[in-house]
Amino acid sequence: MESTQAIEKLFKETFGNVYLFYRDTTLDPSLIAKYKPSQIIMERGFTDMASFANGLSDNCRYTIVSASAKSLPQFNPELHAIGAAILPAGSYFKVLDVYTIGTQTQITLLQFPKYGLNFLKVNQFNAEKKMKSQLRIQFEQKLKEPILKEGASTDWKKRTSAPLGMSDDGVFFLN
């Protein structure tokens, strides 16, 4: 059983000062179908993402909720137009939602510190439910907006083409 102080610390580090980030990619529908709400995944590599997003440029958008992303424009000014950010290799996520409209899917991921793994595997914060409904509404609105050309550049697409938390063959890194 987790102590109240430990749970409060996890909540603060997971939800305190959170920002939304986006990562559009083209994924085979069979890979999208592998993501399930409440599932815990771990990304082995660095997670490139953008803080700005309009219309969806591919069939899948990862919407990532994170309080610990690092801004990339300070290291590469060319990435300023999309608000590029990164999470370190070995980042953990909880799948909050998989929401499909037509042929376009939003996979909402909550990034959390590793020490929260056992707690978040079996528990849910009320904030997760609230976030899920708000992000569905936002996704519906963003689908109507034009695509940001900077987010659709060849270089950025190459950086964000891999599925998160699994190999290109659909094998999750965390079992």
Confidence (pTM): 0.93
Place of tokens 């950025």: 156
Kindly report, residue by residue over 126-171, the tens digit of the pLDDT. 999 999 999 999 999 999 998 877 677 788 889 899 999 999 999 9
Residue count (the chain): 175
> Is there a contact between 139 and 22 (Cβ–Cβ < 8 Å)?
no
Tokens of 89: 């290799």
Residue 42 has pLDDT above 90, yes or no: yes
Give bridge partners of residue 101 from the DSSP assignment.
104
> Is there a contact between 86 and 111 (Cβ–Cβ < 8 Å)?
no
Give all domains of the chain, ordered by start, each with its CATH number.
4-159 (3.90.176)
Report which of residues 42 and 157 the model is more confident about.
42
Q: How confident is the model at residue 99 (pLDDT cuts 50, 70, 90)?
A: very high
Average pLDDT over residues 68-81: 72
Position 1 scores a pLDDT of: 45
Position 157 scores a pLDDT of: 86
Burial grade of 151 (CB within 10 A; 0-12, 13-18, 19 or more): buried
pLDDT > 70 fraction of the chain, expressed in percent and rounded: 93
Instruction: Characterise 33 by phi-psi region: left (phi > 0), alpha (psi -120 to 50), beta (else).
Output: alpha
Average pLDDT over residues 116-120: 93
Position 74 scores a pLDDT of: 64
Position 75 scores a pLDDT of: 61
